[in-house]
Amino acid sequence: MFKKLVLKILILLILLVIIFYIYLWFSSKQKYKVDYGISFSKQHAESLGLNWKENYLAMLDELKPKYLRFSATWDEVEKERGQYDFTEIDWQMNEAKKRGVKVILAIGQKAPRWPECHIPDWAEILEEENYKIELFKYLKTVVERYNLNEALEIWQVENEPFIKFRFGDCENYHQNLVLEEINFVKDLSPEHKIIITDSGELSTWRQATKVGDLFGSTLYRVVMTPGGRYWNYDWLPAGFYKLKAKFWGIDFNNFYISELQAEPWFTNSNPNTTDIFEQEKSMNIERMNKHFDYVERIGVSRAYLWGVEWWYWMKTKINDDRYWEIVKNKINN
């Protein structure tokens, strides 16, 4: 009797899973208009052996994005305590402004791109109270400098701040300060919206969807495990993200993809040491087009592409401009 009951429950659960998957699949049928932007990293361009300014200008003048995201990382703008250098951020902001490009400027302890946490060496050794004082000095200095810049559209405070697992070089990340940071930036710059980002696949979004004006999710369809194996999410319908957003009450006009995967995984984070055949296991023309198709079935209003440094590397170092041209056509159409 007991075994029959267990079997019935198991069959019922399997049926419910099948019905749920069918629902996700059907909810993924409709396609939506998506505005595409680009995430850019000066540090990543340099790590690929590129002239980062040439990469940046080529992106602006050839790809012609309307929207851009980059960071004023703490370790770059304040390498020495109390000594700020905004030369490179000023240049990026002003070049964007000349072309009418709107910028998400990421600030805080964490920022897009490895090593995830971008804390100056001198700050890492500070005690909690002094660390907090210096962090908020940096935030105030950056916000006051760019608050009136015409290119600035949105502040991003921290990058995926509520992820529960350790990722990157983040031993000294003070997650307990995140909510204070968000409120601090809101008070300093009430005229600009704040976006909070989170992992699309590895987080519930519970906290991140409640504390900002906008919500940004990453979207990676292929990942590399620590052991070097590839894992893909091709089995997961786009309706999963749509349902997840509805569950948390997200307005789809305020729902962005902050990182849409459009580059491969590299050995030691560098394409110069990774064979092209290996790179194309995780990103190729077919895969890139599949990612475009997928994101257009979620319902997000905007998606920031991740990989402009690699497309430029492929174009200038490998003489392969296919990825560059695909993005150009997608953005301008």
pLDDT tens digits for range 176-218: 999 999 999 999 999 999 999 999 988 999 999 999 999 999 9
Residues 119-159: tens digit of each pLDDT:
999 999 999 999 999 999 999 999 999 999 999 999 999 99
Same domain, 212 and 300: yes
Same domain, 18 and 91: no
Q: Is the peptide bond before 115 cis (omega within 30 degrees of 0)?
A: yes
Structural domain harbouring 248: 33-332
Question: Is the Cβ–Cβ distance between 109 and 154 less than 8 Å?
Answer: no
Question: Is 70 exceeded by the pLDDT of residue 282?
Answer: yes
Calculate mean pLDDT across residues 301-315.
Answer: 98
Percent with pLDDT over 70 in the chain: 99
Number of domains in the chain: 2
Q: How confident is the model at residue 167 (pLDDT cuts 50, 70, 90)?
A: confident
Q: Compute the 3-state secondary structure of the chain and give helix, strand, coil in percent, each to the nearest 5.
A: 45, 15, 40
pTM score of the predicted model: 0.96
Of the candidates 81, 71, 88, the residue with the CA atom closest to the CA atom of residue 125: 81
Same domain, 142 and 53: yes
Same domain, 122 and 269: yes
Same domain, 150 and 272: yes
Same domain, 59 and 1: no
Same domain, 7 and 117: no
CATH (domain of 270): 3.20.20.80
pLDDT of residue 269: 67
State the average pLDDT for the chain: 95
How far CA 201 is from CA of 205, 244, 266, in Å, comes to 10, 11, 20
Same domain, 16 and 53: no
Same domain, 16 and 142: no
Question: Is 70 exceeded by the pLDDT of residue 37?
Answer: yes
Same domain, 55 and 161: yes
Same domain, 208 and 77: yes
